[in-house]
């Protein structure tokens, strides 16, 4: 049985450390503040917002929610982003996904000031990420690396395979893994013969949202398995990995839930504090 990579435990540990950083900032009269723009009433988004608010409160970070109607126009959204960009008290801005179809997401993301881009989704910050000159990292990718570091799992010289090419997980994680001297392959659901690639992986990350996509016959013995996917099947929460059959073969494996999810929220708070420090000359 592979050793569990306990993301929940690590998230709580890192939250305690972050709380001390926030207290030190408050002693200097600096209050970390980030603003979340949510459009409409997507049920998953509402749950995620509550989770983020709870973690922010625990850490001492102020989170301000701007709840917009599902009918909001692109112009109104851009005006709000511009207002927040110019508010010196705001250290971070993020748009909760998904957004309704009338919103041109890439244009809205590009309007966020790079120095307040908590999600690392502005074109400027994506470019910095691939150049290796970044000051903010996407939360999920940041959390994955934090978890690997905590368990002393090195990426140097390893074959790292990522299933999923999203701008939130797959692509930025590939950039950060390359920084760590891993040899990285990015796969996706249209890749032919997934197992041909996954069987060579020393470290396999799956982020597709397709339940039990990764089977035991798709991995090599003692591989490290990081499951970012989350789905609800027959009332149960499951990941991309067929956990019961893969765990006995892996050396390390994340559970779902309790693996990457808690670290994503914690990492978001860490990025808020990082931006707050940077914007106040406290790097």
Q: Three-state DSSP class for 233?
A: strand
pLDDT over threshold 80, residue 283: no
- Please compute the mean of the pLDDT values over residues 228-253 and round it to a whole number: 93
Question: CA 71, 107, 121, 56: dihedral to nearest 10 degrees?
Answer: -30
Cα distances (Å, whole numbers) of residue 178 to 121, 213, 262: 19, 25, 24
- Under 8 Å between Cβ of 196 and 227: no
pLDDT digits (tens, 9 = 90+) for 23-51: 999 999 999 999 999 999 988 888 889 99
pLDDT of 78 higher than 90: yes
Give residue 218's pLDDT. Answer: 97
226 neighbors 5 (Cβ within 8 angstroms)? yes
Q: Which domains does the chain have, with CATH numbers?
A: 29-113 (3.40.50.10860), 139-261 (3.40.50.720)
Q: Are 94 and 85 in contact (CB under 8 A)?
A: no
Q: With pLDDT > 90 as the criterion, what percentage of the chain qualifies?
A: 92
Confidence of residue 222 (pLDDT cuts 50, 70, 90): very high
Quick one: pLDDT at residue 244?
95
Residue-wise pLDDT tens digits, 145-167: 999 999 999 999 999 999 999 99
Active centre residues (catalytic)? 52, 96, 119
Global pTM reads 0.95
Number of other CB atoms surrounding residue 16 within 10 Å: 10
């Amino acid at each position: 049985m592979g050793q569990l990579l306990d993301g929940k435990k690590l998230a709580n540990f890192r939250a305690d450390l972050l709380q001390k950083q926030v207290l030190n900032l408050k002693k200097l009269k600096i209050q970390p503040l980030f603003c979340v723009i949510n459009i409409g009433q997507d049920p998953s988004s509402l749950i995620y917002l509550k989770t983020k608010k709870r973690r922010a409160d625990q850490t001492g970070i102020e989170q301000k929610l701007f709840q917009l109607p599902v009918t909001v126009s692109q112009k109104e959204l851009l005006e709000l982003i511009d207002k927040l960009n110019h508010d010196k008290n705001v250290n971070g801005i993020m748009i909760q996904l998904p957004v309704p179809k009338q919103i041109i997401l890439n244009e809205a993301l590009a309007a966020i000031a790079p120095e307040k881009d908590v999600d690392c989704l502005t074109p400027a910050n994506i470019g910095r990420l691939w150049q290796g000159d970044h000051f903010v990292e996407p939360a999920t990718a940041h959390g994955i690396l934090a978890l690997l570091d905590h368990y002393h799992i090195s990426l140097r010289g390893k074959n790292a395979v990522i299933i999923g090419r999203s701008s939130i997980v797959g692509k930025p994680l590939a950039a950060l893994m390359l920084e760590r001297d891993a040899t990285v392959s990015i796969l996706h659901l249209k890749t032919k013969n997934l197992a041909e690639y996954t069987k060579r992986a020393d470290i396999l990350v799956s982020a597709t949202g397709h339940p039990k996509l990764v089977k035991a016959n798709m991995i090599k013995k003692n591989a490290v398995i990081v499951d970012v996917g989350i789905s609800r099947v027959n009332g149960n929460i499951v990941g991309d990995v067929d956990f019961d059959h893969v765990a006995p073969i892996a050396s390390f494996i994340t559970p779902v839930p309790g693996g990457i999810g808690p670290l994503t929220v914690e990492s978001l708070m860490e990025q808020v504090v990082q931006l707050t420090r940077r914007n106040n000359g406290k790097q």
